[in-house]
Amino acid sequence: MSDLIFDESTILLDLESDTKEDVLTKMGSNLVDKELVKESYIDAVIKRENEFATGLPTSGVSVAIPHTDVEHVNQKTISMAVLKEPVEFGVMGDDSETTPVKVVFMLAMDQPHSQLTLLQKLMQVFQDEDTLQFLVTEKDKTKVKDLLTEKLAFEGGE
Mean pLDDT of 120-139: 92
Q: What whole-number distance in Å separates Cα of residue 59 and Cα of residue 99?
A: 12
pLDDT at residue number 110:
87
CB 134 within 8 A of CB 147: yes
Look over the chain and give the mean of its residue pLDDT values, rounded to a whole number.
92
Q: What whole-number distance in Å separates Cα of residue 80 and Cα of residue 27?
A: 8
pLDDT digits (tens, 9 = 90+) for 19-49: 999 999 999 999 999 999 999 999 999 999 9
Which residues lie below 8 Å from residue 5, measured CB to CB, with a gap of 6+?
Answer: 34, 36, 75, 76, 77, 78
What phi-psi label fits residue 14: left (phi over 0), alpha (psi between -120 and 50 degrees) or beta? left
pLDDT at residue number 85:
97
pLDDT at residue number 157:
38
Q: Is the confidence at residue 56, as pLDDT, over 90?
A: yes
Q: Is the confidence at residue 101, as pLDDT, over 70?
A: yes
CA 97 to chain centre: 20
CA nearest 109: which of 54, 67, 154?
A: 67
Q: Domain 8-144 carries which CATH code?
A: 3.40.930.10
Q: Is the confidence at residue 142, as pLDDT, over 70?
A: yes
pLDDT at residue number 78:
95
Q: pTM for the complete prediction?
A: 0.93
Q: What whole-number distance in Å separates Cα of residue 77 and Cα of residue 110?
A: 9
Beta strands 94-108 and 55-56 are unpaired
